[in-house]
Amino acid sequence: MEQRSSTPGGESRPSNVESEGANAAQEVPLGVRVAAAWSWRLLLIGAALAGFLWLIVQVRIIVIPLLVAILLNALLAPIVHWFERQRLPRWLGVVFALALFLALVWVLVTLIVTQLRDGLGDVAERSQESWWQMLRWAESTFGISAREVGGFVDQVWSTVQGHQTELWSGALGIATSAGQFVTGLLLTLFSLIFLLIDGKRIWNWVLGFLPARAHAPVDAAGRAGWISVGQYVRVQIFVAFVDAVGIGVGAAVLGVPLAIPVAILVFLGSFIPFLGAIATGALAAFIALVYNGPVNALIMLGVVILVNQIEGHVLQPLVMGSAVRVHPLGVVLAVSTGALLAGIPGALFAVPLAAAANSVVNTLVKRQWEVGTDPVADYHRTDQLQHRARHRARIVAKLRRKEGRS
């Protein structure tokens, strides 16, 4: 309860305690008070983000396949839309898009398996020969005895044999991961089919959980983010193709075996910006070292570095940056942060998420939506009209068939 003291004129004034408290609050500089207000709000936002990330980690077996399905949907949706523009059934476009995608995946996997099946054993033998050559070179150059290295290897092998229980547990973990991979693959395919068939209905169903006044801005922001994701996927395919052709042609010119599977692996690995092409290109340098010697391997490594420099300084800033509207530094930081938080999946999804977030924020800041509209209500209204039109068309068709029989 507020305590006040009376003045001779009958006026009341705050007590000394309240006066001292107000003076103490005023003594704190404005910058400190603003920083404190920002701090507790940022702490709450950080706690909410941490809780959200923890929840995603707990259900990652569902989240990762769903994100992969969304990326594939962004890639294949234009094919379905082309079929619709040609006034062909939507299901025909979905079937064609899925068949084309599965055919391309089958071709890539077949090329990798057939090429590696013929050359993998030879790579293992030559790797062993190169290992012994390196041991002999180390013995002649640095005086390191091959017997000492062999004893170290035997010690490692003995340690491995002494921890067979842990290894069996690891094998069971691998089996569990294999089972999760199959489950995730089926969930990805299942989600992709339904996103292609009924993506618009699913989006409006999600919007239906929001307040009506939020439908228009969230719809506009979501569509802008979706456009950025589609542009990212298409541009990333082009970037991966350039990386694969550059490293594959370089390997073929240098006479490095297994150039085709190496190029395919580079293509697949390039979907992780910056890191993927380097990791898969190192495999080409290793094969060159095993088959053609250190000089050829250094040249192959130079080709890999050159291709990655072209990607980093030409393709990513000009092509990727202009498509997704994210600065190259933002791409690098997003990939690094994603890899730090979630490993390979984090690096894979970092750039499309950053591009979508950038488009969403810009749309909301610029208020790029029609005020007073409700896209969810409009969608349901249009859907009901189409349903009634189809129902009437079926009734008319039945009546005509009856008249024709009579």
Q: What is the pLDDT along the chain (406 residues), one digit of tens a residue?
A: 444 544 555 555 555 555 555 566 667 788 888 888 899 999 999 999 889 888 887 888 888 888 889 989 988 989 998 998 888 888 898 999 999 999 988 888 887 777 666 655 555 556 556 655 665 655 566 555 556 555 655 565 566 455 555 444 444 444 446 677 788 888 889 999 999 988 888 888 888 888 888 888 888 888 888 988 888 888 888 888 888 888 888 888 888 887 888 888 888 888 776 667 777 878 888 888 877 778 888 898 888 888 878 876 777 666 666 666 677 677 778 877 887 877 778 878 888 888 888 888 888 888 877 777 788 888 778 878 878 888 888 888 888 887 777 6
CA torsion sign for 385, 389, 390, 395 is positive
Say what the pTM is: 0.72
Reported for 367-370, long-range contacts at CB under 8 A and 24+ positions apart, including other chains, are: 367/217, 368/220, 368/224, 369/216, 369/217, 369/219, 369/220, 369/221, 370/216
Nearest-angstrom CA–CA distance, 16 and 385: 72
Nearest-angstrom CA–CA distance, 273 and 281: 13
